[in-house]
Amino acid sequence: MSQRLDEQIMTIERALGERMIEHALVVVRSWLNELGENNPYEEAAQRIRKDYNELFNEWLSIGNEDTDMRLNRLTGDMYQLVDAVYASIRVYRGLSPEMHGFNPDLPQSVMNYFASNVRLRPEDYEWMIHAAHDSSKAGTAIMAVGALSRNMRECFNLDALLAMIECIDAENALVGDQCLAGVFQLLIQYDIRIDFFEQLQRAFLDALNEMGDEGEHAFEVLCAMIQMVRPQTIADSEDDMSHSLPNELKHLLQHSGLNDLHNLTTILPKSELEYMQGLVELLPDTWLYDVLVAENEEREQSLARLYLALGRMDLMWENIDEAIRWLVDRLRGDNANVHDYINYAHCLLLTGDRMMAFEYYRQARQLCNTPKDFFNLFRPDRRALVDHGIPLEQIYLIEDRMLENKG
C-alpha cells in the first residue's frame, strides 16, 4: 500500500533533516511521475541528482574539505524542489485550489487567497509588503500575513517567509508584531531547515538589526506569544479554548473596512492552542532561541519563569533553587494549579526531600479526576528526572502510589 501524502512529506522531512538526499528523491520521483512527463521540475531534479552523484564520487576518491558545505547547499536546493513539487501535487490531487488572483478591497478574498493558494506569485508578495507598509491597509495586511503563516505550516515557501520578514518593520506596529509572530512560529516549526537556508538567516538577522534594540522588542513579542498558551488543567473544557483578540486589534480591524468580525474575534481554538503548545516545547532547542535568548542571562531567566508559569520546568532543571523560590510564592497565592504542585514536588525530589515531594505529588493527584489525568502531566518529566539523578525505579514507585486518589 502506497504512502499517503502526509506520510510522504514526513518521510522527506526526516530524510532531509539528515541530509539524505537520495531518500527524498525517491518520493519526489513518484510525485513527478504522477504529474507527467511535461512537469516543470524534471530539469531541477536531474541537476540535483547529478550534483549529488558527483559530490559522492568526489568524497569517495578525493575527500574534499568543502563536502559538508556543498552537501548543505544541495540539501537547501532539494528542500526548495520538494516545496515546489509538493505544492503542485496538492493542486493536482485537488487538495489545494488553483487560484489566479484576489480582490485587495475585499478582506474575505484576501484572507482566502493567502490561506489557500500554494502557488503564490511574486506580485502577491509585493502587494503584501506594500500593504504592510501602508497604514491605511493595516487591517488587510494583518489578515494576509496571518493567513499566509497558517498556509505555510502545511506548505512551506521560502519566498513567502522572506516576504513576511520584510514586513516586520511595518509602519503599523500591530502589523509588524503579527509578522514577527508568524515568522517566529515558522522558524520554530521548520527549525531543521534553517541550517540550509543562509539567505533566510541573513534576512532575519538583518531585520532584527534594523529594529535597533538588540532584539528586545522581538523577545517581548515572543514572550507574548508564549503567554497565549495557558497551562492545560483538568478543569479546562473544550468550550473554553479560545481567547479574544486584543481590543486595539479589534479597533484596527473595525476601522479597516472589516465589519464582520465573527471569524476574527476568537483566536486560538483548541487545534491552534495545541499547535502553539508544540512550538513552546520545541523552542529551547531551536535556532530562534539561540538568536534571541541564549547567552543573554536576563532573557533566559525571564523565559524560564514564563515557562514555569505555564507549568513547564523545561528551562529550570539546572536552576532548582530559583524554581523553588518561584513555586513557593505561587503556592502561597490563589493561582496555583496542578502543574505547580507537580513541579514543586519535582524540585523537592531533586533536593532529596522524598517525604515532602510525595506529599505534593499526592496533593496534585487529588486535583486530578483520574490517575490518567495525573500521569499525563507527570510522565513527560520522567526523562528529565532521570537525567538529573532520580532512579527510574523511584519514579515508578511514585507513579504506583498515585494510582488511587487517597485523601
What is the arithmetic mean of pLDDT over 112-139? 94
Query: How long is the chain?
Result: 407
Complete DSSP assignment for 366-379: HHSSSHHHHHHHHG
Q: Which of 62-76, 133-147, 196-210, 350-364 has the lowest mean pLDDT?
A: 62-76
* Cell numbers placing 382: 520522567
pTM: 0.84
pLDDT of residue 2: 57
Kindly report the number of other CB atoms within 10 A of residue 400's CB atom. 9
CA distance 136 to 130: 11
CA proximity to 158, closest of 43, 94, 78 = 78
pLDDT of 403 > 90? The answer is no
* pLDDT score for 407: 53
State the pLDDT at residue 254. 44
pLDDT tens, residue by residue, 168-213: 999 888 899 999 999 999 999 999 999 999 999 999 999 999 998 9
Element spanning 266, H or E: strand 266-267
Assess contact for 295 and 273: CB atoms under 8 A: no
* pLDDT computed for residue 153 by the predictor: 94
Q: What is the pLDDT of residues 287-307, one digit of tens each?
A: 999 999 998 999 999 999 999
The number of beta carbons lying within 10 Å of the beta carbon of residue 318 is 9
Distance CA 405, CA 363 (A): 9
Given this model, what pLDDT does residue 37 score? Answer: 86
Q: Span 353-368, mean pLDDT?
A: 94
Mean pLDDT, rounded, for 230-247: 44
How confident is the model over 309-334, as a mean pLDDT? 92
pLDDT, position 228: 81
